[in-house]
Structure 1
Amino acid sequence: MGFPAGLLVLLSVGALPCQPITHGDSAKQDGHCFQVLPAEEGALNIGRHWGAATPAATVHIDMSKVTSTASSFEFRTLDPEGVIFFGDMGDHDWFVLGLRRGKAEMQINNIMTNISVRGGQRLDDGHWHRMLVMNEGDSVRLEVDDEELLALGHVSYPIIERPVPEMRLAMGGLLLPASHLLSPMNTAMDGCLRRWSWLNQTTTWREGAALRAKAKPCFSALRPGSFFPGAGLASFRPADLAGGTAPPNGSWGLEVELGIRAPRQTGLVLAVGVPDGSLALSLVLQPTAMVVRLGNWTKLRLPLPEGPCLDAPLRLRVSPTQLALQLGNHGGTLPNQPPDFQWLQGTWLGQEGRLFIGGLPDGDKTPRPQEWGAFRGCLRGIRVQGHQLDLDSALFRSDTIWAHSCPGAHEGAEAGRRARGHGAD
């Protein structure tokens, strides 16, 4: 039987509790940098899992009670690719709605057809968009903000007539292996849903209290970037990155650029090392300075600008002869010790080398000062060796991290709609 593309959208479940992202003294400190700390009331963050197709939440619908073929919800993201929701009515009867390069994509698989189609305007702009999916006869229609975006004919037939006991819906993930998709997709989606209505049903998430206890909040307003909440990290294998190999002329150096917005704290911004050894390079934010250490002998300390919140572009360059750090309008340089540079170069170009962002792995294998904490704040526009770094392509990424969004400045009730994100960092 053909799968109803329209039905796979959210169900009318109880609102999730509003959860602030900070507590106690940290909330007061963060308020200087992130004016929006409370969560968006009643919204569901579907960006709970990375590296697997595991859904953020699931629900089952009793098909004997379905009388409507339309489902609707509001969706917001700065993430250009990922699964919004998946639904099935049997092993070979399924539907996926997601984004690819910021545009809506539907994939339908059933005995009538298997088809993947994408189109319309980009939706990864940080605005709330009203989405409606409807199964009409043998057709499936997607509307966005009351305008038809995609329409497919002869791909399904009325869900109300289907002799199946239930439909399964999965938010932000899949209920089948990702390899079964018609067009492969990075399933992780840093996005939020709210004001959903699925068919005519009122049901509850299968995860129940566990979902409420572990749910990530949805920020009331967004700005582009990647938000690190003070727990978790992302790691990359330099050899897998663009520009991660030695240049043909043999002259190697390291360059990292990013924007940083964070309260005064002690936290690791980035490091280069190996999983079971010491660090060849570390960049640490301290309450009064940004400190970069290269190897055992080279250490550069750059005082922070005045004010409770650091909000500035940062550029780190390591050449065979010099270590340079630029933070906003201030910078500093130091001559390198050859052993320190050679250590970094060998680590970066070796297969065991790792680039750590926001923190270090748990355990005692990587020696580091105990006072270092995981970084808390927003990193935007991360560029390594001149190439944009995408946290969705990490070798490992903690589920605690918002890969494509940071809390924005409070602008009133419609802040989310007026946010000015122009794509993901």
Structure 2
Amino acid sequence: MNYLRVVVVVFLLGPYLIMLGRGASGNQISARRVINLAHRQSAWTPILQTSANLSDIRSIRSFFEFRTLDPEGTIFYGDTKEGKDWFVLALRDGIPEMQIGKADILVSIKGGRRLNDGAWHLLELRSEGKFVVLEVNNNPELVVGLRSELTEDELTGKIRLGLGGMLVDKQKLFNPFQPDMDACVRGGHWLNLSTLWDTDPTWDPRPCFSEIKRGSYFPGTGMVTFNTSDLPGVKTEEAGITIQIFGSWTGTLLSLQSTDFEYVLGELDEHTDVKVQMGLKEGSETAALPREPAALTFNILKHSLVVNSKPDRETESLDFFSMWKKGMLLTFGGVPGESEDAKRSHHLRGCLEKILVQEQVIDLDQALYKHSTVSSHSCPTEAMNELT
């Protein structure tokens, strides 16, 4: 089993083993509280779900406040007939999108204002006969009409609701999307239900920041790993591969690993002004950064690594271009496989406002592995200013 495969297995089994340790079911909470839709391992399963008899429902109407900087992800889901008829509200490019499956009909419609501006918006979803209506801040944004000879006008049985995920197979989607949603919901009124909702056992309930700005927030407890073969590659040998990072941070910024090579880019220790040593393999390298970085450029050339235009590692025995194309682990925020003590001491803490690889913005939701504590698209305006 090769190095990448071992690391991936560890990443994937870790959350599963944790889930086994605390039981297969989550807790129950009120869906009217402030809810952070992020911070869980299962991307498609709702973080909260509930069900009710349709005979108890007086109005097919739900409204809630919603805030995000994330351009894409799942917000709200509902179905009847155990998923035969279903509905999902999501964002794509920051714009609301509704997808509906009913009898022989599949519908996808997108439109209205962008909602990923970091402001709170009042969203209302309601059914008006054969129409589904989405209002944003009391203004109708999307209206979808459905008619089929196979549909039933009278609804019976149960209705299921979910937040931040779906209860049907993603293969049923008319237009696939990335499900992870870094967003907050508050003040929800879900139909006329007052019951507690079941939580996903992999969801890590966390407070919502009172004020947010764009970026990816690392609280000092987790990391994000990409396989370099999934990232943009070499355009020209002269230019190499460029990684640009903007923000403010402390701790380990990034690490680059393959079967027989490991390189770590971290800060100077605040007490000793020496390079942080992290128990690296023989022949590996550790580089140091200033304490208050605002931007960093990391260049990978065929036989050298360059930090802020200064050569940091040179070798004729390694071809970094071939290694990048074949697949290395590029990790932001830590070093996969290091000891627990090192993780606690050196994990990245701060806000990475933007990460560019070959001038393309990198979305952490597309990573091979992302720790549940890392916020992909939002940072607190003040690191410790959180809304409980």
Q: TM-score, normalised by structure 2?
A: 0.79
CA contact (8 A) 2:301 2:320 kept: no
Change (3 A) 1:136 1:156: farther
Which residue number corresponds to residue 271 of structure 1?
255
1:391 is matched by which residue type in structure 2? L
Which residue number corresponds to residue 375 of structure 2?
402
1:258 equivalent in alignment to 2:245: yes
Which residue number corresponds to residue 233 of structure 1?
223
What does 1:26-41 align with in structure 2 at a 5 Å threshold? none
What does 1:125-140 align with in structure 2 at a 5 Å threshold? 125-140=117-132
What does 1:144-163 align with in structure 2 at a 5 Å threshold? 144-155=136-147, 162-163=154-155
CA deviations 1:355-389 (Å, max 9, x no partner) are 1111233467xxx9788522122112101122211
1:387 equivalent in alignment to 2:360: yes
CA contact (8 A) 2:77 2:87 kept: yes
2:307 is matched by which residue type in structure 1? L
Identical columns (%): 33
SS at match of 1:94: strand
| Offset of residue 261 of structure 1 | 2.0
Change (3 A) 1:343 1:187: same
Which of 82, 91, 94 aligns to 2:73? It is 82
| Offset of residue 66 of structure 1 | 1.2
Which residue number corresponds to residue 111 of structure 2?
119
2:268 is matched by which residue type in structure 1? Q
Distance 2:47 2:229 in 1: 31
1:338 equivalent in alignment to 2:328: no
Distance 2:34 2:148 in 1: 30
Distance 2:43 2:381 in 1: 28
SS at match of 1:206: strand
Which residue number corresponds to residue 187 of structure 1?
179
Distance 2:274 2:124 in 1: 48
1:377 equivalent in alignment to 2:364: no
| Offset of residue 338 of structure 1 | 2.5
- After TM superposition, the structure 1 stretch with the greater mean CA deviation from structure 2, 129-138 or 311-320, is 311-320
Which of 283, 289, 295 aligns to 1:313? It is 295
Which residue number corresponds to residue 48 of structure 1?
39
Distance 1:201 1:227 in 2: 34
SS at match of 2:245: strand
What does 1:201-220 align with in structure 2 at a 5 Å threshold? 201-207=193-199, 214-220=204-210
Distance 2:367 2:41 in 1: 9
Distance 1:143 1:278 in 2: 54
CA contact (8 A) 1:178 1:184 kept: yes
- After TM superposition, the structure 1 stretch with the greater mean CA deviation from structure 2, 290-299 or 122-131, is 290-299
CA deviations 1:264-292 (Å, max 9, x no partner) are 5xx22111112x5541x221123447969
Change (3 A) 1:354 1:323: closer
Change (3 A) 1:363 1:111: same
Which of 357, 360, 365 aligns to 2:332? It is 357
Change (3 A) 1:191 1:371: closer
| Offset of residue 302 of structure 1 | 4.4
2:323 is matched by which residue type in structure 1? T
| Offset of residue 47 of structure 1 | 1.5
1:347 is matched by which residue type in structure 2? M
Change (3 A) 1:225 1:348: same
Which residue number corresponds to residue 325 of structure 1?
307
Distance 1:226 1:77 in 2: 13
1:273 is matched by which residue type in structure 2? Q
1:192 is matched by which residue type in structure 2? C
CA deviations 1:5-54 (Å, max 9, x no partner) are xxxxxxxx6378xxxxxxxxxxxxxxxxxxxxxxxxx3101123356312
Distance 1:144 1:87 in 2: 19
SS at match of 1:214: coil
SS at match of 1:402: coil
CA contact (8 A) 2:265 2:286 kept: no
- After TM superposition, the structure 1 stretch with the greater mean CA deviation from structure 2, 216-225 or 108-117, is 108-117
Which of 90, 93, 101 aligns to 1:101? It is 93
| Offset of residue 250 of structure 1 | 4.1
Distance 2:342 2:57 in 1: 59
Which residue number corresponds to residue 16 of structure 2?
none
Q: Give the count of matched residue pairs.
A: 351
CA contact (8 A) 1:87 1:96 kept: yes
1:357 is matched by which residue type in structure 2? F
2:46 is matched by which residue type in structure 1? P
Distance 2:60 2:285 in 1: 66
CA contact (8 A) 1:271 1:356 kept: yes
Q: What RMSD in Å do the two structures reach over aligned CA positions?
A: 3.5
| Structure 2 runs not aligned, ≥5 long | 1-28
Which residue number corresponds to residue 5 of structure 2?
none
| Offset of residue 298 of structure 1 | 6.8
CA contact (8 A) 1:103 1:119 kept: yes
Distance 2:215 2:369 in 1: 18
SS at match of 1:179: helix
